[in-house]
Amino acid sequence: MSLGVFFGLLNLKKNLFHSCLSVLFVSGAYSLRNNTRITYKMPSSGLSPMDPNSFSRPDLAVVTNIFMALDINFTRRVISGNTDLTVQKVDQKVEEVILDIKDLNIEAIYETQSNIKLDYKISETGPFGSKLTVALPDKNLENYIISVRYETSPNASGLQWLNPEHTAGKKFPFVFSQFQAIHARSVIPCQDTPSVKTKYTAVISVPKDLTVVMSAINKHKKPLLERTMYAFEQNIPVQSYLIALAAGELESREIGPRSKVWAEKQIVDAAAFEFSDTERQLKTAEDICGPYVWGIYDLLVLPPSFPFGGMENPCLTFVTPTLLAGDRSLANVVAHEIAHSWTGNLVTNANFEHFWLNEGFTMFIERKVLGRLQGVKYEDFHAYEGYLELQETVNRMGEKDPLTKLVLNLEGVHPDDSFSLIPYEKGYIFLRYLQSLVGITAFESFLKTYFETYKYKSIKTSDFQEYFKNHFKSNTAITKIDWDTWLYGTGMPPIIPDYDQTLRNTCQDYIKQFISWNGQDSFPISSQDIAALIPDQKIHFLRLILKEEPQSLEKLRGLETAFDLANVKNSEMKFLWFRICIKGRWEEKIEGILSWLNGVGRMKYTRPLYRDLYNWEASKTTAINNFEKYRSYMMHVSEYTIAKDLHLLK
Ligand code: BES
Ligand code: ZN
């Protein structure tokens, strides 16, 4: 269908839809066709045997295309309209297609060609949402197009709605999505498993002063009465969690031949400065991974409540404003999201038990990009930082925690509960180990063929393992790999590679001086030496202090002055500094820490700080009260995980 036709159709459907809105939603009121039923092999939970976090059964009938015609309603905080799914039977005997939904109000489901209503059933409602079983039309077609007419709930877990006062401009509301891992189902009825990839098109309408952006190419923008309609097209098949949208008062600046940065106008120039290295990072990643297939690479800087550092939505990476350090020192997050253009977005984990295939590989490419742009010593410096963070994570979770395995068992486990640094850093170390066995050149050329072979596919760890073994079958070095321990062992990795220590050494010297300092004599590191440290080294220095025993308040005061920590803009440094203050039991800092927390949604910062505050009697109650006061402004995933961290949920 051409996009011109979309607009026409949308108007039609809109009218139909609006006239039906007053009808009570009677979800699941229809019964399924009664003819012969096939019994599917189902685990007792009713979830898919291929993906423990999805009800869908793409092995029986698979969605091959998605078209959305949706209106964003800020007053009611809902998105409503139609999502049309093209469905193909895989098993000719099946009569149904199974989809995932979560808190969607389904009004009706139609077959588009005939406009006949289809029967459907909603069942198994629980933490993974609900199973939506739709009876396919009783005729033999190659493709069935079913149209779901529905609206989202105001608490859709994949959306964050902001009132104007929570935006930089204060005039207009804002909404953004975050679908990874399994929140797409709260906005789009779909087969919400990364094992299914579809092209998608969308027509989205918003109040006329707002701009809509999506993880796709924008095709049109047209006024329609008091609203504006935007049409998008993503021509590369993507998994559901990569569908993304945001709407607000946005501007853009060009930052490269295929890149723009989008943000509210108050920060768009700062963002253009911060991310000016994007094209160089893209080119370097292409050099390592092969051609960039997504056409454009834009960035969207979200309001502060965005819960992640970055999200690799295709054509439009979403990033947190905490990256705006003013000196480009946190742009490695962009290198990370760029790397996902291959690892994750082209070669995709088939379900979230194999999440390390996305994130471990992405860390590996991210650091290689940094290594090429800044030198191997930077690559290794970051790798070592990652190793320290991994140690902290394993210590906190416990050596024996099954979630410290590289390959997880997520039966009955929500991916939001399993999320940690393990797949990132343990995955990274595993790949460094493999590379050390076969050599850098051989490993890099292996990576290229691995991407080439598995692009546009979703795979499991065993696919990678077989491919690697086969590729290096004549290399005896690989026979000593203890795959079982690496993939299924808990705790720290069995082998830690050697990393270049150049950038670390200076910090090591300084830390010794700081630790043996008595807090009364003059600060042990000269201001010239401090000024000579790059931001990454300052971050490292603070991380090393945090690892040490608590420091006295005198020493902390000295440190604050020497490093000007009261005025530091770099969010990573601020975060580590706050943790050091909590560890040193500096009570006067609690208030400032909480007020910073209330303006930041990035879970990498909020979760450890809330946990630290919880674990200190002096701040425990204040932290809980503060959370209760601000939780309604948090995105669902933040609210949920912090509530758990604070033991407010079981
Ligand atoms: N894809 C992730 C973010 C994510 C993971 C969202 C799991 C939802 C579920 C993204 O690429 C990421 O890893 N972001 C990191 C960046 C960092 C490792 C450089 C982040 O948010 O901190
Ligand atoms: Zn990532």
How many angstroms does the Cα of residue 360 sit away from the middle of ligand 1? 11
Backbone angles phi, psi at 50, to 5 degrees: -95, -25
pTM of structure? 0.94
Domains of the chain: 3-249 (2.60.40.1730), 255-341 (3.30.2010.30), 342-500 (1.10.390.10), 518-645 (1.25.40.320)
Angle at CA of residue 505, ends 499 and 508, nearest 5°:
115
Q: Which of 201, 195, 308 is nearest to 635 (CA)?
A: 308
User: Ligand 1: which of 299, 320, 336, 393 to mutate, judged by most atoms within 8 Å of the beta carbon?
Assistant: 336
Q: Which of 65, 99, 71 is nearest to 85 (CA)?
A: 65
Q: What is the pLDDT of residue 625?
A: 98
Strands (E), 415-488: 457-459
- Identify residue 128 by its one-letter amino acid code: F
Please work out whether the CB of residue 310 comes within 6 Å of at least one atom of ligand 1. Answer: yes
How many angstroms does the Cα of residue 173 sit away from the middle of ligand 1? 25
- Per-residue pLDDT tens digits for 218-232: 999 999 999 999 999
Distance of CA 329 to the CA centre of its chain: 21
Distance CA 501, CA 482 (A): 27
424 has catalytic annotation: yes
Distance CA 382, CA 612 (A): 24
Query: Is 339 within 8 Å of 282 (Cβ atoms)?
Result: no
264 has catalytic annotation: no
Helix axes 440-454, 461-471, angle to 10 degrees: 130
Q: In this structure, which residue's CA is closest to atom 8 in ligand 1?
A: 180
Alpha helices in 615-646 (DSSP H): 617-630, 636-645
Distance CA 650, CA 642 (A): 12
Residues in the chain: 650
DSSP character string of 81-135: EEEEEEEEESSTT--EEEEEESS-EEEEEEETTTTEE--EEEEEEETTEEEEEEE
Please report the atom of ligand 1 found closest to the CA of residue 363: 18
Residue of 297, 384, 424, 614 with catalytic role = 424
Please work out whether the CB of residue 184 comes within 6 Å of at least one atom of ligand 1. Answer: no
Backbone angles phi, psi at 188, to 5 degrees: -130, 130
Q: What is the pLDDT of residue 379?
A: 98
Query: Is 646 within 8 Å of 597 (Cβ atoms)?
Result: no
Query: What is the three-class DSSP state of 220?
Result: strand
Residue of 96, 151, 337, 385 with catalytic role = 337
Distance CA 574, CA 609 (A): 11
Please report the atom of ligand 1 found closest to the CA of residue 320: 21
The H or E element that residue 73 is part of is strand 61-73
Q: What is the pLDDT of residue 19?
A: 32
- Per-residue pLDDT tens digits for 101-140: 999 999 999 999 899 999 999 999 999 999 999 999 999 9
Q: Which of 345, 492, 359 is nearest to 419 (CA)?
A: 359
Count of Cβ atoms closer than 10 Å to residue 333 Cβ: 20
How many angstroms does the Cα of residue 421 sit away from the middle of ligand 1? 10
Mean pLDDT by 10 residues, the chain (650 residues): 47 37 28 37 64 98 98 98 98 97 98 95 97 96 97 98 97 98 98 98 98 98 97 98 98 98 98 98 98 98 98 99 98 98 98 99 98 98 98 98 98 97 99 98 98 98 98 98 98 97 96 97 98 97 98 98 98 98 98 97 98 98 98 97 94
Q: Which of 505, 549, 545, 506 is nearest to 525 (CA)?
A: 506
Please report the atom of ligand 1 found closest to the CA of residue 637: 8
